[in-house]
Amino acid sequence: MSLMNDNIVLAIVDDHPIVIEGLRTLLKEEPQISIAGSFTRGKDFMDFLQHNKVDLVLLDIMLPDTSGMDLCRDIKKLSPDTVVLALSNHTERSIILQILQNGASGYLVKNVSSTELLNCLKEALKGEIAFSKEVKEIITRPSQHEFKQVPTLTKREKQILQLVSQGKTTPVMAQELNVSPLTIETHRRNLLQKFDVKNVAELIMAAVQHKMITGF
């Protein structure tokens, strides 16, 4: 886990060049941290990670290409010892828990102060879970409907969900995806089951609430 290493290799994945620049500047002050690279696309980082050792990643969970959630999982799969710190502006409890579920070691909202950022980095490297102040409050204040955790969907299911939200009917989807309508029906059934709902109306609502469909 490179706990006691005095030299920590860090990477930044964020599609905002300004944020990257800011992080670089702030972290440059810390001699024990060396920045291996910064990436605006998830795929680029994964390529990098294939050939390089990275101790800690600052990961924006809202990226253009991949979902940050999936990327986080991919990172931990490829390199389990790499500590992932999620960086985002979202303050929904479900999102925070979801990213933790996917292997992140902490969650920072982007309005952290520089000192807060460094503290969290240190905590995360010690193996602890690190939250910025605001996030801690969100975590400790649970809300009603968040008891049932966010269901994990397969690739195909996500795809079907998206199409359903676009008003596509089963036969239409079957044609588009070149599979039997009966197959689509099965996926639909599984979606309803996983979300614990009875029909599309509830399904869409649940998906929207968990931000699993964008809407735009």
Residues at the contact surface with its own copies, assessed by CB under 8 A: 15-26, 40, 64, 89, 92, 110-114, 117, 143, 145, 164-167, 169, 197-205, 208-209, 213, 215-216
Task: List the interface residues with DNA, window 190-209 (CB under 7 A).
Answer: 192, 198-201, 203
Closest CB to its own copies among 7 and 166?
Answer: 166
Among 2, 40, 170, 209, binds DNA (CB under 7 A): 170
Asked if 76 touches DNA (CB under 7 A), the answer is: no
Helix pair angle (68-78, 42-51), 10° resolution: 10
- Least distance in Å: CB of 174 to DNA? 7
Regarding 52 and contact with DNA (CB under 7 A), the answer is no
Question: Could you tell which of DNA, its own copies, none binds residue 182, using a CB distance below 5 to 8 A set by kind?
Answer: DNA
Q: What is the CA radius of gyration of the chain?
A: 19
Q: Checking phi first, is residue 198 left (phi over 0); if not, alpha (psi -120 to 50) or beta? A: alpha
Pick 59 or 204: Cβ nearer its own copies: 204
Q: Residue 50 interacts with DNA (CB under 7 A)?
A: no
The binder of 175, among DNA, its own copies, none, by C-beta within 5 to 8 A per type, is none
Say how far apart CA 213 and CA 63 lie, in whole Å: 15
Residue closer to its own copies, measured from CB, 22 or 37: 22
Token pair 């920590």 in the structure block, residue:
8
- Token pair for residue 117? 């950022």
Query: Which of 152, 166, 175, 176 touches DNA by CB under 7 A?
Result: 152
Q: Could you say which of its own copies, DNA, none residue 111 binds, taking C-beta under 5 to 8 angstroms by partner kind? A: its own copies
The one among 17, 171, 175, 196 contacting DNA by CB under 7 A: 171
Rounded CA separation 165/215 (Å): 8
How many residues line the site for DNA (CB under 7 A)?
25
Contacts of 215 (CB under 8 A, 6+ apart): 208
Q: In what order do the strands lie in the sheet with 56-60?
A: 33-39, 8-13, 56-60, 83-88, 106-109, 130-131
Q: How far apart are CA 128 and CA 121, in angstroms?
A: 10
Rounded to whole angstroms, how far apart are CA atoms 167 and 17?
A: 37
Judged by the rule CB under 7 A, the positions of this chain that interact with DNA are: 77, 152, 154-157, 169-171, 177, 179-180, 182-183, 185-189, 192, 198-201, 203
